[in-house]
Amino acid sequence: MRHQTIALIGGSGFIGSHLVNALVEAGKHVRIATRRRENASHLTLLPVDVIQADVHDPVQLAAFVSQADAVINLVGLLQSKRGTPYGPDFAKAHVELPNKIVAACYAKGVRRLLHMSSLGADSNGSSMYLRSKGDGEKVVRESNLATTIFRPSVVFGPEDNFLNQFAFLERILPVIPLACSQARMQPIFVGDVAQAFVNVLDLDAASGRAYELAGPTVYTLEELVKFSGAAIGKHAKIVRLPDILGRLQAMTLEFAPGPTLMSRDNLDSMKTPSVASGPMAPELGIDPASIEAIAPMYLTGTSSRSRFNAFRASAGR
């Protein structure tokens, strides 16, 4: 079945902005919900509808998905106040919102739902984040909708808060105290994530499936920090922190002013390797790009902040 009108929730963020581009290139009509229109101002030059709506309000959410052929949910948080089994922010974004989205789809007759989760998501997982993501998956799986779940590892690309953050630290610090230095992850390019969504949107065989999304290489956290430094010509000394000092560092950062760079829950998440169980599913149609082919261009500023396929072209992909 062809799904032409797409209601995208969480479309103004890092991954969402790339997915909007990919959907538009595929000829889809995209509607983006945002609490404040200015949050999506970078997308208004595209042929999309930006709709100001509070998706946590069931009435506004139902109105937003009305007449859509498919709904895509990208909403996710990396930080929350603490709680059991997870904090209130994770509960609201990762569990309560999927429940409301499923209800809105039922109410408005929308049958297709694509949902962003995370590698390692598990209701009994090692962190609040992973437990809430696991419960969110359960909500989606147990619906009677035609659902597809995506479980990416860490996502990299221009404007990410991942490799860019490491590069920033390498630029300003001679020494980087690093917790969970041997945590394992398999980063995937944001353009590949976006294309995976587009490639299975209209694929009937993808209904009821959960897809792992991961790049070609597994790295430790320390290797990724070193790679980011090498890409910009900086080589800070990395000091591996034992667990107790890593947790003390994370607790300090949790209470520091400004955005939280690291939390105790982030450390708990890294106890679970963010690594795929096998190769990328062939129906996704993705030959995953490597960090080495993509990241140096945006870390060094040698490539403009253009749409993701420009990065592929520059890398000869």
Task: Tell me how crowded residue 42 is: count the other CB atoms within 10 A of its CB.
Answer: 13
Show the domain range for 107. 5-154+187-214+275-288
User: 207: Cβ–Cβ under 8 A, 6 or more apart, which residues?
Assistant: 112, 146, 147, 148
User: Considering the domain boundaries, does residue 80 fall inside one?
Assistant: yes
Is 249 within a domain? no
Q: What is the pLDDT of residue 237?
A: 96
Report yes or no on 91 lying in a domain: yes
Percent of the chain at pLDDT exceeding 70: 95
What's the pLDDT at 302? 59
Whether 150 contacts 113, CB under 8 Å: no
pLDDT attached to residue 41: 82
Domain count, the chain: 1
Is residue 141 domain-resident?
yes
d(CA 253, CA 243): 15
**Do 198 and 139 meet the contact criterion of CB atoms below 8 Å apart?**
no
Count of CA atoms in the C-beta half-sphere (13 A) of 197:
34
CATH number for position 36: 3.40.50.720
In a domain, 228, yes or no: no
Domain for residue 143, yes or no?
yes
Q: Which residues does the chain have with pLDDT short of 50?
A: 304-317
Position 210 in a domain: yes
Query: What pLDDT is stored for residue 1 in this prediction?
Result: 61
Q: Does residue 297 sit within a domain?
A: no
pLDDT at 306: 42
